[in-house]
Amino acid sequence: MEKFVIEGGYPLSGTITPAGNKNAALPALAACLLTDEELVVRNVPRIRDVDAMLGLLAGLGVRVEWREDNVVALRAADLEDAAPDAVLAERIRASFLLAGPLLARLGRAEMPAPGGDVIGRRRLDPHLDAFRALGAVVEPARRSWRLAAPQGLRACDFFMDEPSVMGTENALMAAALTPGTTVIHNAASEPHVQDLARMLLQMGARIDGIGSNVLIVEGRDRLSGADYSIGPDYLEVASFAALAAVTGGELRIRDTNPADLRMTCLVFERLGCRVHFDGDDLVVPPKQELRIRDDEGDAVSKVEDGPWPAFPADLTSIALALATQAEGMVMIFEKMFENRLFFVDKLISMGARVILCDPHRAVVSGPRRLHGERMESPDIRAGMALLIAALCADGTSEIGNIRQIDRGYERIDERLRGLGARIERVAVERVPA
Q: Report DSSP state, residue 225.
A: -
Angle at 47 between CA 43 and CA 53, to 5 degrees: 90
Query: How far is Cα 158 from Cα 162, in angstroms, rounded to an integer?
Result: 12
Number of C-beta neighbours around residue 140 at 10 A? 10
Task: Kindly give, in sequence order, each residue whose CB lies less than 8 Å from that of residue 180, ignoring residues fewer than 6 positions away.
Answer: 154, 155, 218, 219
Q: Rounded CA gap, 349 and 376, in Å?
A: 12
Q: What is residue 319's three-state secondary structure?
A: helix
Contact (CB, 8 A) for 80 and 60: yes
- Residue partners of 141: CB distance under 8 A and separation at least 6: none
**What positions carry a catalytic annotation?**
117
Q: Residue 124's beta-bridge partner residues? A: none
- d(Cα 314, Cα 380) in Å, to the nearest integer? 9
DSSP one-letter code for 291: B
Return all residues near 337 (Cβ < 8 A) that are at least 6 apart.
Answer: 119, 120, 121, 122, 313
Contacts of 272 (CB under 8 A, 6+ apart): 245, 288, 289, 290, 291, 292, 293, 326, 327, 328
Q: How far apart are CA 183 and CA 143, in angstroms?
A: 30
Distance CA 275, CA 269 (A): 8
Phi, psi of 139 (to 5 degrees): -115, 105
Nearest to residue 204, comparing CAs of 222, 192, 185? 222
State how far the Cα of 385 lies from the Cα of 316, in Å rounded to an integer. 9
Rounded Cα gap, residues 284 and 306, in angstroms:
25
Packing angle, helices 191-203 and 22-30, rounded to 10 = 30
Residue 341 DSSP symbol: G
Q: Is 289 helix (H, G, I), strand (E, B) or coil?
A: coil
